[in-house]
Every structure is written in C-alpha cells, then in structure tokens.
C-alpha cells in the first residue's frame, strides 16, 4: 500500500476463496525461498510472511499501516521474521540485500506502479527474483461489473506485462482462478485449455476458466517455469464448517435460554428465589463486619 490502509486485508478468521488464492500464491513462493532473504511487500496480517519464514533464512514483512504491523509482530514471532512500517514506493530496506520479493494483490491499491517497481529493483540482489500478482481488470471488474472501492488502478494483462518487462530481463506469466475453495494456477499458454464441468441432477454445464489474477515470476538472470497446480482448500472448508457449527450451537443455546427465561415457571421460580438471594447477600455482609 502507498499512503493509506485500504481496509481490504486478508485476516485469518474470515475465510473464503480469497484465502485459498493467497495461500496458493504463498505456496508457490515457498518453493523459491529456501535459505533466502525474503521481502513481503504489503504483508498485512502477517500469515504469509510467517509461512515463508519456515524455509527462508530471513523474512521481512513491510506494510504501510502501523497498527497492522504491531498486530503482526504480536501474532507471528520468530527469530528470522520481522515486520517494518513502510510503503511500496519507499521500501525501508537496504539496496541489493534481498533474494526474493513477493507482493500479492498490492499494485491495484495504488497508482505509483513505476515507483514501486523501481524500489523493488533497488532492494533486490542482481540475481534476485520477483513473484507478484494482481487482478486482471478485464475478468475481475469489466466482465463481472464488480467495483472494488479499495482498488485505485487495476491493470489489464498487457499493461501488467509491459510494466514488469520494463524492469526485468526474464519474465514468465501465469494465470490464477478459484472455485469452491480450490485454486488453479497455470501458465498463460495452458490455462485456457482446461474445461470446468458443473451442475446437479437437473442440469450440467461446461465452461472454461477465466484468469481472474495475473501472476509473474521475474528475474534478470533466467526464466522460471513452474508446473500448473491446484490448491486443495479442504482444510479451509473444514474451518468454515466448524465455525458455522459453532455459531449455530451458540444461537441455539441463546435461543433456548431466552425461551426458558420467558416461561411462567422460570419467572415464578425467580420470584421465589429472589428474597433468599437478598438474604444471603445481607448475611455475608454481617459476617464480614464481625470478622473484621
């Protein structure tokens, strides 16, 4: 983020397809960070930086929001993990000190794209790698009619490609989409070759993936080719189910309590017990006086 907290941060208590999309990106990034110094720009809640710290030599999470950084420090504490306040166009990191930069869903939240890429190049070592994603304006907004109030400047694929190619000699682009808490990422050449069937006992539907997100792996020394992959969101699905169950149980318990309180028997019992309750408090007070 550049100069404000957008309010659109993924936090690990509100689960959805967005959760799985982010986890899939971090899973891919995790394959690049073994024994590396890693910078996570717009690290937000901090869970992604924490994931990467399991394999990385060091991870630095940077975010513009002071409160978010303080919360991340409290929630995710490790010797090789630290969080700093900073913006994407002025990264508080020394030049030529980072092996891998990751930045997921950041570009669209500001319009200082050139400044951000220039800063990324500054902090990266000569053989450093950038892994970045951003929603495709065509599929995220134009075709859906969705207007995200937190997005300042979304990019079409050709704009995203032009921006990254300007700063890196080798780039490889991938598309991502998700459905039913599962995410799919593949190269731009192979993404649209996959068919999705859906329906129930009354109808069947056949469709193609729309690449909602653009993802790039960029470097100045070589091109990185990764295999197409799925992220199985069943663990997140189970957590959603458990939360729903918990909420239903709480609502049921609260409803039963209210129903019991509204009965004549409960009200009559309360009237009978109340004088004894007052007497008990009075006796405790008298005993206390004598004990002094």
Written as six digits, the tokens of 138 are 């065509």
Mark whether 45 and 71 lie in a shared domain: yes
Instruction: Tell whether 130 and 166 lie within a shared domain.
Output: yes
Task: Give the pLDDT of residue 60.
Answer: 98
Parent domain of 261: 242-291
Q: Decide if pLDDT at 121 tops 50.
A: yes
Q: Are residues 214 and 261 in the same domain?
A: no
Task: Please check whether residues 128 and 257 belong to one and the same domain.
Answer: no
User: Is residue 134's pLDDT more than 50?
Assistant: yes
Residue 144 sits in the same domain as residue 281 = no
Number of independent structural domains in the chain: 2
* Same domain, yes or no: 90 and 123: yes
- Asked if 24 and 108 count as a contact pair (C-beta separation under 8 A), the reply is no
Same domain assignment for residues 34 and 88: yes
Q: Are residues 170 and 281 in the same domain?
A: no
CA proximity to 131, closest of 106, 159, 97: 106
Query: Does residue 7 belong to any structural domain of this protein?
Result: no
Q: Please tell me which residue, 64 or 208, carries the higher pLDDT value.
A: 64
Q: Is 82 inside any structural domain?
A: yes
Answer whether residue 125 is part of any domain: yes
Task: Tell me the CATH number at 104.
Answer: 3.40.50.150
The verdict on 111 and 167 lying in the same domain is yes
19: confidence class by pLDDT, cuts 50, 70, 90: confident
pLDDT at 241 (0 to 100): 79
Residue recorded with tokens 């891998």: 100
* One domain for residues 24 and 144: yes
Quick check: is 84 in a domain? Answer: yes
CB neighbour list of residue 198: distance below 8 Å, 6 or more residues apart: 204, 205, 207
The reply to whether 157 falls in a domain is yes
Q: Is residue 5 part of a domain?
A: no
Tell me: pLDDT of 51 over 70: yes
- In whole angstroms, give the CA distance from residue 5 to residue 8: 8
pLDDT one-digit tens code per residue, 169-219: 999 999 999 888 889 999 988 887 788 888 889 999 988 778 899 999 999
Structure tokens at 209: 């993936």
Are both 192 and 247 inside the same structural domain?
no
Q: Are residues 60 and 134 in the same domain?
A: yes
Does any domain span residue 209? yes
Cα 211 from Cα 208, distance rounded (Å):
10
């Amino acid at each position: 983020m550049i100069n404000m907290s957008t309010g659109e941060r993924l936090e690990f208590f509100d689960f959805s397809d967005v959760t799985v999309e982010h986890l899939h990106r971090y899973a891919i990034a995790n394959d690049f960070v073994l024994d590396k110094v890693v910078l996570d720009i717009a690290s937000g809640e901090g869970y992604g930086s924490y994931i990467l710290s399991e394999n990385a030599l060091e991870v630095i999470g940077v975010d513009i929001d002071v409160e978010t950084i303080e919360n991340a420090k409290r929630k995710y504490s490790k010797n090789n993990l630290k969080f700093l306040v900073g913006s994407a166009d002025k990264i508080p990191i020394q030049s030529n000190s980072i092996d891998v930069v990751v930045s997921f869903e950041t570009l669209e939240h500001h319009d200082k794209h050139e400044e951000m890429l220039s800063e990324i190049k500054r902090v990266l070592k000569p053989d450093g790698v950038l892994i970045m994603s951003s929603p495709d304006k065509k599929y995220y907004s134009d075709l859906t009619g969705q207007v995200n109030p937190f997005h300042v400047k979304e990019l079409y694929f050709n704009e995203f490609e032009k921006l990254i190619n300007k700063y890196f000699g080798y780039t490889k682009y991938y598309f991502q989409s998700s459905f039913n808490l599962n995410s799919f990422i593949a190269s731009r050449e192979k993404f649209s070759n996959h068919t999705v069937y859906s329906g129930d006992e009354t109808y069947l539907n056949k469709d193609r993936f729309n690449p909602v997100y653009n993802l790039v792996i960029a470097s100045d020394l070589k091109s990185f080719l990764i295999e197409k992959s799925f992220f199985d969101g069943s663990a997140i699905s189970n957590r959603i189910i458990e939360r729903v169950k918990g909420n239903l149980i709480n609502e049921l318990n609260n409803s039963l309590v209210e129903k019991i309180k509204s009965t004549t028997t409960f009200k009559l019992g309360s009237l009978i017990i109340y004088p004894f309750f007052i007497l008990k408090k009075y006796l405790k007070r008298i005993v206390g006086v004598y004990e002094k």
